[in-house]
Every structure is written in C-alpha cells, then in structure tokens.
C-alpha cells in the first residue's frame, strides 16, 4: 500500500497551512529524513521530511496551495512495485477532521475560506460603506501596536522573544524592523523583573506594552501588576500612575496541560486599579488594543492562542478604536442571554446557532471588557430574556460568571425566570490526555444544555 504523507501540524493549535514548495518531484526517490516539501503558516515556515523510503509517487496537493488542513494527505510514497493507483480511495485531497481542531462549526469553516466569521452588528462608529478587510486576530494585534507606536514615540514593546524572534506567537512580527531595537526590546526570561521595569518606566510617563509569552508566566510578575501597577495611583493620591499594557495569550491552548492552561480573567478582574480586556474578534482585538495602549491606566489584555489564526472582518479606517468597558450584542435574541468573551464566544455562538434550530433564540453578549464590567448591557438583555447563561474557560469558584450572577440578582432579580447558570471550565487542573482535556473545557453542548435548562425546554 502506498504511504500517505499528511499535512503536519506545527503547533498544538495549528489547523491549516500553506504548501509553499515541493522539493522533490513525482518519481524522485526519497529516504526517511529527506526534506520533501516546505509548508508555512502565518507564524513560521517548516520543512516536511519523508518518514519512509520509496518513490514519491504522486503529489496530491500542488505547491502554492493555501489553507491545507492538518492531516490532509499531500503526497503518496510508493514502495517497490507499487503505483499511485494503488492508493486508498480516501486519499483524494479533502478537509479531514483533525483531532487537534479545537472548535468546529461555522467559525472554523469560515476561517479556512478567509471569509468573515461573524454576523455581529457592526460597531456604531464605523461609517457606512467602510471597506472591511479579512484579518487574523494575530495581524490585528500587530497592526494595533504598530499604529500606536507610529502615533506616539513613548510607546514601546518589551518581552521575551518579541524582537529578533518576531514574537513567540508572531504577534510582534515586523515591529523590530520598523521601530528598531530601542522600542522593540527582547528581555531575558525574567517576568517579575521586566514587569517591574515596565511599571517603573510607566511611572515616568512612558507607555510600555509588556508581553507575557503566555499569561501563565504573569504569576511570576503578579506582585508588580497588582501592588505596583494597580495601586500606586491611589497610594500616591493621584500623583503617580502608569499607562501600561500587559498582554499575551491567556487560557488553554491545546494539549499543554495544567501549568500552561489557565484563565486569568477573574484573577485580574478582582483588582481595583486595573482594567481587564479580552477580545474575541480581530476588529475588537485591534480597536481595544489601541484603546488599551492609550488608556492612562494599567490594562491587562488577555488574548487567546486558538483565536490568533482566526480571520474576521476589520474596518479599514485610519484610527479604529473600540471603547474599553463596552460589551457588544453579537447576536440578538429574545429567549435567553448568553454572556461570553474571547474563546467562550465560539461556544456561545455555536450554541446559539443550534438552539435557534430548536426555536430557542439566544442573545449572545460579547463582554469584551471584564473590568469595568458593562452590567448595563447585560441587565438590559436579561430584562428582555429573563434568563442568563455565562460562559467562561476559567474555574467555577469566584469566576466572572459568579460575579455576573450576583450582580444580576442585585440589579434584575425580579426579571429572572430561572436561576443564572454558569458554564465554566471544570474545577480541576488541566489534564493532558486529549479525552480528559476535552471534558475539562466548556463546549457548545454544555452551553446548549444550560440554555435549555434555564428556558425549561
């Protein structure tokens, strides 16, 4: 049987890539370890090596093909005496279900065609007729930083691998080339120290963007974020504050286990003196990061690795800002309010789509900012629907959902027709095994179940 060469994944969250180049032609002999092709993602270019010996029988995906899904057969290697026609029927190029694929449904499909993933109402301040450009969250974040660095010489970015390596997740790609080493600064692996250096620079009026390679490592630095960044304005009677953004990927990526899979939304949202932002779409990522950089206060900006490669429409405007502290109705509905943000929106929107088929019309609120919390938007929706489900990846105890539930009791108790339900990550450290990890995370199915429970349907 001919051996299929599959499109490999370069990272736990990769879903697709481009087949940049074939280095072997059909009919060439290959040995295990020979580089046969180059593939690229928006983060990196990698070589594909043959794992078996034989003849490159057939190239199934020609070079230059974009968005080839992980695990798609891209070529056949023939053993002695075999021909390409011996190939199994399923080896025609098609998108296969990949176990690494973290989210299914409309969003993933849309991303792979480069089309807008979102049918949400547009931001109010986008003029009609504005061109929308399909942009990944990764590019949107980079564009936001680049625009703000062009606008204000006091803005700089520091962190591990942000400069020469171009960002561990390629968020800072190209910034070193444009702004130079003075403003794009590689730090040693020293989160506590460089967070403090950033805050100190911020005290003098500079506007640092401090990148944590992931927010898991921000626990090393949390004293500087909480005790120095958040509290100094108050402790100085308003004299000394800092305009600083702490940003990086937050929450679970895929298969990286307990120490690298944690949601810090409720941790930082607990702290007066901080703002906490966590966007879902690329447009919000761009507009909110620009607002965060300009904000005179410390802002914790929680990104999500799985969303980095997702494509959304971003308005082509010179200066697109999204206000901090304003939630957005991502999908209007009348039967139940679903409050989510960041990656939680993928489950919420998928659930809403499914629920609609059962004639349960959910209103999905994309919170976007966790602190200050836009309770007004939530309360208005709950007054309409009488029911609320919150969705978050973090643990249940003292989570953002718990706070929202308490505030709804305070402010809209008489409008509730059912207790608020929380969909959260399970109350365990993140397991590594694929099946257990899946169980530990929220899913659209859990959101659907909660929505049906509160609507008694």
Residues annotated as catalytic (active site), given as ranges: 191, 260
Tell which residue, 135, 205, 139, has the closest CA to residue 169: 139
Q: In what helix (H) or strand (E) does residue 283 lie, and over which residues does it extend?
A: helix 282-294
Nearer to other proteins, 17 or 273 (CB): 273
CB of 75 to other proteins, least distance (A): 47
In the shown chain, the binding pattern of residues 9 to 48 toward other proteins, with x for contact by CB under 8 A and - for none, equals ----------------------------------------
Nearer to other proteins, 140 or 201 (CB): 201
Question: What torsion, rounded to 10 degrees, do the Cα atoms 58, 63, 66, 70 define?
Answer: 40
d(CA 72, CA 42): 18
Cα torsion 301, 305, 308, 313: sign = negative
d(CA 277, CA 401): 15
In the shown chain, the binding pattern of residues 354 to 373 toward other proteins, with x for contact by CB under 8 A and - for none, equals --------------------
Cα torsion 149, 153, 155, 159: sign = positive
Q: Does 182 contact other proteins by CB under 8 A?
A: yes
Tell which residue, 126, 105, 128, has the closest CA to residue 117: 105
In which order are the strands placed within the sheet that holds 336-340?
Answer: 328-331, 362-366, 336-340, 388-391, 421-423
CB of 455 to other proteins, least distance (A): 38
Which of 17, 108, 273, 442 touches other proteins by CB under 8 A? 273
Nearer to other proteins, 99 or 296 (CB): 296
**Could you say which residues in the range 183-242 bind other proteins, by CB under 8 A?**
187-188, 190, 192-206, 223-224, 227-228, 232-241
Nearer to other proteins, 8 or 193 (CB): 193
d(CA 39, CA 47): 6
Listed ranges 55-63, 271-279, 336-344, 406-414: which one lies at the site for other proteins (CB under 8 A): 271-279
Which of 24, 275, 286, 387 touches other proteins by CB under 8 A? 275
CB within 8 A of 166, min separation 6: which ones?
Answer: 172, 173, 174, 176
CB of 314 to other proteins, least distance (A): 28
d(CA 394, CA 400): 8
Residues in the chain: 457
Nearer to other proteins, 33 or 238 (CB): 238
CB of 377 to other proteins, least distance (A): 20
Q: Are 438 and 345 in contact (CB under 8 A)?
A: no
Nearer to other proteins, 95 or 231 (CB): 231
Question: Which single residue is written with the structure tokens 């929505």?
Answer: 451
**Could you say which residues in the range 279-298 bind other proteins, by CB under 8 A?**
296-297
Q: What is the distance, to the nearest Å, from the Cα of residue 262 to the centroid of all Cα atoms in its chain?
A: 13
For 291, other C-beta atoms within 10 Å of its C-beta total 24
Q: Indicate the pairing of strand 362-366 with strand 328-331.
A: antiparallel
CB within 8 A of 94, min separation 6: which ones?
Answer: 72
CB of 205 to other proteins, least distance (A): 8
**Could you say which residues in the range 111-170 bind other proteins, by CB under 8 A?**
156
Question: With contacts defined by CB under 8 A, how many residues of the chain interact with other proteins?
Answer: 39
CB of 248 to other proteins, least distance (A): 18
d(CA 315, CA 337): 27
CB of 226 to other proteins, least distance (A): 10
Nearer to other proteins, 51 or 375 (CB): 375
d(CA 419, CA 382): 12
Nearer to other proteins, 165 or 432 (CB): 165
CB of 186 to other proteins, least distance (A): 10
Cα torsion 190, 195, 198, 204: sign = negative
d(CA 51, CA 28): 15
Which residues sit at the interface with other proteins, rule CB under 8 A?
Answer: 156, 182, 187-188, 190, 192-206, 223-224, 227-228, 232-241, 272-273, 275, 296-297
């Amino acid at each position: 049987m001919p051996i299929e060469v599959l499109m490999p994944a370069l990272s736990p969250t990769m879903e697709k890539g481009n087949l940049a180049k074939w280095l072997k032609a059909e009919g060439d002999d290959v040995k295990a370890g020979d580089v046969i092709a180059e593939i690229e993602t928006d983060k990196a270019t990698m070589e594909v090596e043959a794992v078996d010996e034989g003849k490159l029988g057939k190239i199934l995906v020609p070079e230059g093909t974009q968005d080839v899904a992980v695990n798609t057969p891209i070529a056949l290697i023939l053993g002695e005496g075999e021909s390409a026609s011996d190939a199994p029927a399923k080896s025609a190029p098609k998108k296969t279900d990949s176990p690494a694929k973290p989210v299914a449904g409309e969003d993933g499909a849309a991303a792979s065609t480069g089309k807008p993933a979102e049918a949400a109402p547009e931001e109010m301040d986008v003029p009609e007729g504005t061109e929308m450009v399909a942009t990944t969250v990764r590019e949107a974040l980079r564009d936001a930083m680049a625009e703000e660095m062009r606008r204000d010489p006091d803005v700089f970015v520091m962190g591990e691998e942000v400069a020469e390596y171009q960002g561990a997740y390629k968020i800072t790609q190209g910034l070193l080339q444009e702004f130079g080493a003075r403003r794009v600064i590689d730090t040693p692996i020293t989160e506590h120290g460089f967070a403090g250096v950033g805050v100190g620079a911020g005290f003098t009026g500079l506007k640092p963007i401090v990148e944590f390679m992931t927010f898991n490592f921000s626990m090393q630095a949390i004293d500087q974020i909480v005790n120095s960044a958040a509290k100094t304005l108050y402790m100085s009677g308003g004299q000394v504050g800092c305009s600083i953004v702490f940003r990086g990927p937050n929450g679970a990526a895929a298969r990286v286990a307990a120490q690298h899979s944690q949601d810090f939304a409720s941790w930082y949202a607990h702290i007066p003196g901080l703002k906490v932002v966590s966007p879902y779409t690329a447009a919000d990522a761009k507009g909110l990061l620009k607002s965060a950089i300009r904000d005179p206060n410390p802002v914790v900006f929680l990104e999500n690795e799985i969303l980095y490669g997702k494509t959304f429409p971003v308005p082509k405007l010179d200066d697109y800002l999204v206000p901090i502290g304003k939630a957005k109705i991502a999908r209007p509905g009348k039967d139940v309010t679903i409050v989510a943000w960041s990656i939680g929106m993928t489950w919420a929107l998928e659930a809403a789509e499914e629920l609609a088929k059962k004639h349960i019309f959910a209103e999905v609120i994309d919170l976007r900012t966790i602190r200050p919390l836009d309770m007004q938007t939530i309360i208005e929706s709950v007054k309409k629907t009488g029911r609320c489900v919150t969705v978050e990846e973090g643990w249940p105890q003292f989570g953002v959902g718990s706070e929202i539930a308490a505030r709804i009791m305070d402010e809209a108790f008489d409008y509730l027709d059912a207790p608020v339900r929380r969909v959260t990550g399970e109350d365990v450290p993140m397991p590594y095994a694929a099946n257990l990890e899946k169980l530990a995370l929220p899913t659209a199915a859990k959101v659907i179940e909660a929505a049906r429970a509160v609507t008694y349907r």
